[in-house]
Amino acid sequence: MPRLKHLENDCFALPAGTNWTPVDEALAHLKANMSCVVETETLNITDAAGRVLAASVSALRDNPPTANAAVDGYGFASAALASGAVGLPLVEGRSAAGAPYEGAVPAGKAVRILTGAALPVGVDTVIMQEDVQVENGKLYFGTGLKAGANCRPKGEDVRAGAVALEAGTLLGPEGIALLIALGVAKVLVFRRLRVGVLSTGDELCQPGEEVDAHQIYDANRPMLLTLLHQWGFEPVDLGVAGDARPLVEAALNEAATKCDALLTSGGASAGDEDHMAALLKARGALNLWRIAIKPGRPLALALWGKMPVFGLPGNPVAAFTTALVFARPSLGVLQGQGWQVPQPYLLPAGFTKSKKTGRREYLRARRNDDGAVEVFASEGSGRISGLSWADGFVELPDEAAEIKPGDLVRFIPFSAY
């Protein structure tokens, strides 16, 4: 069983003198300082979808458990091919997946066999039923068949005792199917990471409420809760805390009793109403990171007691971007999944862009019918409509770049996170 280690108060502290932190340095720092914080439990394999394996799982039996036919046809010993025989007598009966042939097939004879059926003793080759003729109890076929054709060896997929899935694997339908096929009934998994989402601000209203001109609807909290659900964590809705320090402190204390980690958006700067930042700083564990990224620049990282807090920007586009780039891999480590790196595609650009040096840029983008990627008409981080328009990011490097139509660019689908 993995040993859990609580995060230290300085886990988010960057080296002294750091000003603008490149994205890769920020990610490397997070990767080096995150560790699993959740306990393990044993579940039935059929209840383990979406969980992370806490221990590697080995096969309890061979897959397939016995040599079997890959097609519907007729089976016999390959020695008959060497003799040049074209007519083999058929034995009575057949071999089916749920009803194997009893006994052995004599040399020089053949047996009817169906896909997935165990090869009877005396059979090591199967010919497809489309390639034969059967007349008067005899099997006729032409030349060219190879010994061992259309047969699956025992253990061809996985041998008994071999590691089938490594610790840290996120169990999806494919992994569950594999483990069940290998005889596994129970697995040791990590408990789902409970991640709270808290909004702050007197200006926030909920869907359906009447709003004044100075008020806005709280889009960040539902967005982040949905992301957490999609990522396989256990989202905890902590609602909205008003702009008063006692209210924010009460919300943080509540989060610490319910959650393993916390996502907040906004309120982590140095303004008069940034009570979140003031409280986290008073506890001596607040680190304000200025990331060389567009959108998203400010990122507040802290501990409230033993609970890591990820203070995302208040702008929805920036909150979405930093959640995917920084929070997603960090939360994966906290849940025992290990550090996950989204895999990009190199695709031709369907746009023109002149980029300045100094910041990594994430452009809202989507693939078009020609296989190229186009970007949203505006880069403004207040244009939340661009998130629903897009299905991924075009990631531009820290350095200056001149992008012309047809140039290869890095496209990362949102689903890759």
Q: What is the CATH T-level fold of the domain 23-35+192-334, as seen in this structure? A: Molybdenum Cofactor Biosythetic Enzyme; Chain A (3.40.980)
Pick 9 or 186 by higher pLDDT: 186
User: Residues 58-96: pLDDT tens digits?
Assistant: 999 999 999 999 999 999 999 988 876 668 999 999 999
What pLDDT score does 211 carry? 77
Residue 143 has a pLDDT of 86
So what's the pLDDT on residue 169? 96
CATH of 345-416, one of 2.40.40.20, 2.40.50.180, 2.60.40.1180, 2.40.340.10: 2.40.340.10
- Residue 10 pLDDT: 64
Domain borders along the chain are: 23-35+192-334, 43-63+164-189, 68-152, 345-416
pLDDT digits (tens, 9 = 90+) for 260-295: 999 998 765 555 557 788 888 888 688 888 899 999
What is the rounded average pLDDT of the residues 214-235? Answer: 93
User: In Å, what is the CA distance from 315 to each residue of 219, 221, 301, 312, 383?
Assistant: 10, 12, 17, 9, 9
Could you tell me the two tokens for 52?
């992370």
> Mean pLDDT throughout 192-203?
93
Residues in the chain: 417
Site of tokens 């096929």: 181
Residues 405, 350: contact at Cβ < 8 Å?
yes
Model pLDDT for residues 324-334, shown as the tens digit of each residue: 999 999 999 99
Beta strand 125-128 with 110-113 is unpaired
The CATH H-level superfamily of 68-152 is Molybdopterin biosynthesis moea protein, domain 3. (2.170.190.11)
Look up the CATH architecture of domain 43-63+164-189: Alpha-Beta Complex (3.90)
Of 240, 236, 238, which Cα lies nearest the Cα of 215? Answer: 240
